[in-house]
Amino acid sequence: MFGFIFDLFGIQRPRTKRIAIPPITLTIEGKAYETSNWSMSGFRLEKFKREVTVGENLKGQIGPLRYSGGGGFTASIVRLTEDSGFGACWSDIDRDIYTAMSGYGP
């Protein structure tokens, strides 16, 4: 029912559950950022150090999470936010960290 209402009014909503706690630490271009929220499909960062554009790809490292020592990722920017941040979708992520991330949520 709510899905129909959201679609009717053109409201976009995440397709996967967003997780705010624990944040994930991402290191991009030598600077560490904590995610505002994240999911198995992507993440959101606030106050990125430079201007970015939708469609831009970023590479970086994900810090340790649960039993994983972290790993590398590539993500594509899908939207810009008013706080100089952005939302991005993972396009490549190391298997160990992805498996560790899957242990969060309901």
pLDDT of res. 1:
46
- Between 34 and 10, whose confidence is greater? 34
Mean of pLDDT values over 58-64: 96
pLDDT of res. 18:
78
Question: What structural domains does the chain harbor?
Answer: 15-101 (2.40.10.220)
- Number of helices (H), then strands (E), in the chain: 2, 7
pLDDT of res. 2:
43
Give 47's DSSP letter.
S
In angstroms, rounded to a whole number, what is the distance separating the alpha carbons of residues 18 and 39?
Answer: 5
pLDDT in tens, 2-25: 454 445 555 454 455 778 778 999
What is the average pLDDT value for the chain, to the nearest integer? 86
* The token pair that represents 65 in the structure block: 């999470």
Q: Calculate ∠ Cα 61-50-59, nearest 5°.
A: 25
